[in-house]
């Protein structure tokens, strides 16, 4: 009986699929996932902020992501209850227990959403879809790195 090398067979089947997906434009990927995928490609460096005596992860935004700044973007994720001022929420790629603040995820997995109209009442961990204009933030530690401004809830 022939011994099968599953590791090699898995990669030989997956590699063509990965090459095809890599060649597709980002918009051809699953709706709502392209923003998270672009965020995941952003490298972060631990940087010391003398004025508050703390280290924060500071992004170096990719050229691809900088080209999207000011454009509308859709994101689908989990509502994370944060007592942020005004009409803002935090949207996480992962549920509350695994998010950036409570679990082991990185800063690329959360986005600040600033609604243009009064936000609806949401439940913690509720999966929602939002659309807003992307703003990148690499300097203001009082806000997240990825911000959707003038956002609307497109799917509660």
- pLDDT single digits (tens) 7-22: 444 333 333 333 333 3
Residues 6+ apart with CB under 8 A from 23: none
Q: How many domains does the chain have?
A: 1
The predicted pLDDT at position 19 comes to 34
The predicted pLDDT at position 85 comes to 58
The predicted pLDDT at position 101 comes to 67
Say how many Å lie between the first and final Cα of the chain, rounded.
Answer: 54
Reported pTM: 0.74
Q: Are strands 110-115 and 127-136 parallel, antiparallel or unpaired?
A: unpaired
The predicted pLDDT at position 82 comes to 76
pLDDT digits (tens, 9 = 90+) for 78-90: 998 776 556 889 9
Determine, yes or no, domain membership for 6.
no
- Residues 69 and 118 sit within 8 Å (Cβ to Cβ): no
Domain that holds residue 123: 25-155
Other CB atoms closer than 10 Å to residue 77's CB: what's the count? Answer: 25
pLDDT digits (tens, 9 = 90+) for 87-145: 889 999 988 777 766 667 889 999 999 999 877 788 889 999 999 999 999 999 999 99
CATH number for the domain spanning 49: value is: 2.40.50
48: tokens are: 């010391």
49, β-bridge pairs: 54
Determine, yes or no, domain membership for 19.
no
Find the length of the chain: 156
């Amino acid at each position: 009986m022939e011994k099968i090398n599953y590791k090699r067979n898995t990669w030989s089947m997956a590699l063509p699929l990965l090459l095809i997906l890599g060649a597709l434009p980002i918009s051809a990927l699953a709706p709502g996932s392209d923003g998270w995928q672009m965020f995941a490609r952003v490298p972060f460096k631990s940087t010391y902020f003398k004025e508050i005596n703390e280290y924060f992860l500071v992004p170096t935004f990719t050229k691809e992501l900088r080209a999207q700044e000011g454009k509308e973007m859709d994101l689908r994720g989990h509502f994370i209850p944060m007592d942020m001022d005004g009409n803002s929420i935090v949207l996480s790629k992962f549920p509350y227990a695994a998010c950036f603040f409570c679990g082991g995820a990185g800063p690329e997995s959360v986005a600040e959403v600033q609604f243009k109209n009064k936000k609806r009442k949401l439940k913690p961990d509720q999966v929602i879809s939002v659309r807003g204009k992307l703003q990148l933030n690499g300097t203001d530690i009082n806000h997240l790195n990825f911000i959707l401004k003038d956002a609307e809830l497109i799917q509660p």
